[in-house]
Each structure stands twice: as structure tokens, then as C-alpha cells.
Amino acid sequence: MKMTSRTKFIKWYVRPFNRLKRVKNGDGAFIILSMGIALCERYFRIKSNCIKSDYIPPVFYVTAAKSFGCTADDFEIFWNVYRHGLQHRAQPQIWIKWWNKGRTKKVKTRFKWSISANNGLCPKIVDTPKGKVVCVFPNDFTYFILKKFLSDDKTLQRSVRHQFGDIYP
């Protein structure tokens, strides 16, 4: 029997998310966030119409930020710290090249990160006496993205190179 993309999405993402949420002490948070970030990239590449692009254009950050209710700059910092860190090194990165205030050149900037239920779903940058902290709550962030896909079946179908395939036992 051939599964629909929605069924695959529920089996491969929603069910594991629900299981990982129940892991004690929030120990499933890194995997939840990693899944959320991968799905976030897929979703907002579709929504910003940059699914054919190998790099992430500014419209991606603007579209995602608008949906999350934060600034495009804050979302881009979040993306550099968490997406590039988790997907390439399995930990958020603390040094990123970021635009200076005049956006004339990129400067190496240090950020701290915070994963906590106190942070909420919207990525935010908090100034502290010890530096800038990039905050997010993985469960809320990922749940937000899961709901985006499940409320718009067209996003489950739309991709150029990365269709939902079939897995056989």
C-alpha cells in the first residue's frame, strides 16, 4: 500500500516528536530542535520560493522571521548559531560571521545559546552582562513547524529535489 506524504510526515516526524518530548529532563531537546530546524528550512524554502537555491537568500530569513514574529536579523543570527551548529557539528556554534551595524562588512561575533522551556518558540536574542544569548525552546519551535506542514498539505508535496520517499521494512 502506497502511503501519502501526510502519512509519511506523521510517521517520520510527528510520532518521533511526541516520543522525544516525553524523554526525562528535556534530554530529547537537541534531537527535537535538529528535526525542527531541518523542517523549518524545508518549509520556509518552499514559502519563500527558494527551493531551487543552494544558498539561503535574504527572503528566506524575512519570510521565517515574519512567521515567528521576530526580526529578520534575529532569525538569521538564530539560524547561524543553531542550524549551522547542530546540522554540521551536533552543537550550536558560538562564533559566527555577522554583519556590523552598518551592514558593510561581516565581523566575527561570539554568541551564547540557551535551550529552555522558559524561552518560548520564537528565536530571540537577549543581551546579558556576559554577552548576547540566542534563546529558543525546541519543543515549541518544532511543534510550530509541524503544525505549519500539517495545516497546509501543499507544502508536503512541494519540493524540487527532496520528495518524501518510501521506506520498506
Residue 84 domain flag: yes
Residue 167 lies in a domain: no
- Rounded CA gap, 49 and 61, in Å? 12
Mean pLDDT of 57-70: 95
Residue 169 located in a structural domain? no
pLDDT band at 1 (very low <50, low <70, confident <90, very high): low
| In-domain check, residue 105 | yes
Residue 146's domain comprises 5-157
Residue at 31 is within a domain: yes
How many structural domains does the chain have? 1
Is 168 a member of any domain? no
Nearest Cα neighbor of 64 from 28, 53, 77 is: 77
Kindly report the pTM of this predicted structure.
0.89
